[in-house]
Structures are given as C-alpha cells and as structure tokens.
Amino acid sequence: MKIKTKLGEIEVDRDKLITFEEGMPGLEHLRKFVIVSNGSDPIMWLVSVEDESVALPVINPWIIRIDYTVDIPKDAMEDLGIESKEDVQVWAILVIPHENPENMTINLMAPIIINTKNNKAKQIIMENSGYGIRHLVKEELERSKKISEKVSADVG
C-alpha cells in the first residue's frame, strides 16, 4: 500500500506495520506506524500511517551508547506478547535541530520496544534508570569511544 508521509509517498508492506495499541506519549491517537529508511542509515524513521505529518527519527540506541541497558517491565512484556529477547527490537527517538544538527539528542529514558514476531510496539518509560530524555549524541559517542578504547586496552 502507498502512504503519504513527511518523507514523501512511500510503498509500505502491510506485514511491516507496527501497532502501538495504546499509542505513544503525546501521540495517543495514532496506532499504526512503519519504520523506514530514507538513505540516512543508521537513522531510520518511525512514520505514522494515519497522520502524514508525523515521522520521528529513530536509531538503535547501542550505536550511540554501547553500554545502554533496557529493563522492560513485566507488564510491557505481557502486553507485547514477548516470549524471547530474540524477538525484541529497541529504538530510541532522536531530536535533530534543523539549525544545529550537531546538537542532536537521543531519548534514552523512553525507548520504543517492538515484538518482531507480532509487530506490537510500546514506548516504555524507564523512570529510575538514570537516563534522561535529552542526551547529546556527540557526548554519548565520545563516551562510548572511551569505553571501547579502555576495553581494547584491557584486552590487549
């Protein structure tokens, strides 16, 4: 099926539709999304199928912060029907300022969890995780680089 989006008109495979049964915080009225690339990998786009003006940049959070941890609450696991961690995909939302893309931030407190077996999704909020909603990507990348270098030095 073809849908109009902020990124232009795209062809969407119905099997790739992701359902947020409760919507997302601030977008509770929207339930159907799809993840698409517009050639800016590893940044992908979580695009609403119901509202062409909604497209959120998302990324695998471990690309930005290598020691990121996600604790999926038991009720969220049940809501999504998750039986195995192999069935879980995790995305983090980015905010990319038009005027200063170098000040891009990542929301590590509220990851999007997708069960890849049934395409059910939920944005969870990890309140006591120590993560915030606006981590500067350049700082997180630098931090991850230092961790990698330390691990390499310790191994070598």
For residue 9, give the CATH number of its domain. Answer: 2.30.290.10
In this structure, is residue 20 part of a structural domain?
yes
Please give the residue range of the domain that contains residue 27.
2-59+68-95+109-131
Is position 148 within any domain?
no
Over 70: is that where the pLDDT of 156 sits?
no
The count of domains in the chain is: 1
**Is residue 116 assigned to a domain?**
yes
Average pLDDT over residues 97-113: 96
Per-residue pLDDT at 40 exceeds 80? no
What is the chain's mean pLDDT, rounded?
Answer: 94
Other beta carbons within 10 angstroms of residue 118's beta carbon come to 13
The letter for the amino acid at 150 is K
- Residue at 59: amino acid letter: I
Residue 12 placed within a domain: yes
Give the per-residue pLDDT at 103.
Answer: 97
In a domain, 39, yes or no: yes
pLDDT of residue 134: 97
Whether 155 shows a pLDDT value over 90: the answer reads no
- Per-residue pLDDT of 54-93, as tens digits, reads 999 999 999 999 999 999 999 999 999 999 999 999 999 9
Asked whether residue 44 is assigned to any structural domain, the reply reads yes
Question: Any idea which residue has 């500067």 for tokens?
Answer: 136
**Three-state helix/strand/coil letters over the chain:** CEEEECCEEEECCHHHCEEECCCECCECCCCEEEEECCCCCCCEEEEECCCCCCEEEEECHHHHCCCCCCCCCHHHHHHHCCCCHHHEEEEEEEECCCCCHHHCEECCCCCEEEECCCCEEEECCCCCCCCCCCEEHHHHHHHHHHHHHHHHHHHC
pLDDT of 50 higher than 80: yes
Q: Evaluate whether residue 74 is within a structural domain.
A: yes
Q: Does any domain span residue 103?
A: no
The torsion angles phi and psi of 152, rounded to 5 degrees, stand at: -60, -40
Owner of token pair 């999007």: 112
Mean pLDDT score, 120-143: 96
* Cα distance between residue 119 and residue 35, in whole Å: 11
Amino acid at 1: M
For 25-39, the pLDDT digits (tens) are 999 999 999 999 877
